[in-house]
Structure 1
């Protein structure tokens, strides 16, 4: 399998903002599934000092060819000046799930019954 699929990671400071972002990503078909995990404790260097904050981790399952559009959307709506936006390639996975990612991001929701 070629590396067609990725998991995009980001973080956000508020669960409601994360929910709104998740719904927008799904609505625009830039991801098939978005998970919000948290709260998590983040420790990072920012503006000359060590900071700590409570955040929510955002995991987005999508196709690699949608990454640039997804990145642009996140940058546009994210409240952070420099949001974390990184991705990992998916080297393998359950074919039925990966096919579902394709169907959802290509607007073929009518095919969802075959995944139940």
Structure 2
């Protein structure tokens, strides 16, 4: 069974969050993206403490596809240095993890299969 990860990234508005989610799933770089928010983020940036309202994306993918996903997010993200963190999935429902694998598989062989979230 392949290794799975959950990638998290925050963006400044719901529209950009939805755009990133749709583009990642459409490119088969992610099986599912959940958008949480708004959340309040407090961080130090260029010497000042900042607080901002953001939307958090929780992205389910395989470890194999996570490098391409990171590159995709980096290209499409409006921030100079976005938070892109990949967390290992230590377990989960086997059928769900199989679905993640199928939905992130390259090529047309997995098109048209059942989906879930």
TM-score, normalised to structure 2's length?
A: 0.91
| Distance in 2 (alpha carbons) for counterparts of 1:70 and 1:91 | 20
SS in 1 for 2:83: coil
Deviations along 1:42-85, whole A, 9 cap, x unmatched? 00000111000000011000000011111111110100000000
1:98 to 2:97 alignment: yes
Equivalent residue runs for 1:47-86 within 5 Å? 47-86=46-85
TM-score, normalised to structure 1's length?
A: 0.92
| Distance in 1 (alpha carbons) for counterparts of 2:52 and 2:5 | 27
Deviations along 1:24-46, whole A, 9 cap, x unmatched? 00000000000110000000000
Q: Which runs of 5+ in 2 are unaligned?
A: none
| Distance in 2 (alpha carbons) for counterparts of 1:16 and 1:77 | 13
1:36 to 2:30 alignment: no
CA RMSD in angstroms comes to 1.5
| Distance in 1 (alpha carbons) for counterparts of 2:12 and 2:113 | 35
For 1:110, the equivalent position in structure 2 comes to 112
